[in-house]
Amino acid sequence: MENEKRPWGEYAVLKSGEGFKVKSIIVNPGQKLSLQLHYKRAEHWIIVRGEALMTLDTKEIHLKENESIYIPKETKHRIENRGTILLEFIEVQTGTYLGEDDIERFDDIYGRIK
């Protein structure tokens, strides 16, 4: 299992099969993912360490360890680590296509909007 580095932290694919993928994702303190959506997949995020500020469409939701959230496909979302320790969560993806290029970014502090 090899970790993929990103500007906000890293992730590793734990398991994948037809129609699903499971990742472990770590977000460094003070970092956040882009505000994004996916057209072909839904996601379920389970917080296993730290606390998160989650944006789901226009709502902000605070999540802590052992809490989870479901993100339907075509729903804008973002996760942010405003804490002082690593934020770790498990992401379960389901859908017809699970490639990393199924993403539309709307806001990104790392300049990755095309």
pLDDT of residue 111: 83
Asked if 105 contacts 36 with a C-beta cutoff of 8 angstroms, the reply is yes
pLDDT at 2: 72
Tens of pLDDT, residues 92-112: 999 999 999 999 999 988 888
CA distance 67 to 88: 12
- Structural domains in the chain, sorted by start: 4-107 (2.60.120.10)
The model's pTM: 0.92
| Residue ranges, the chain, pLDDT below 50 | none
Q: Residue 68: what residue type?
A: S
Predicted confidence at residue 1, as pLDDT, reads 61
Q: What is the pLDDT of residue 112?
A: 82
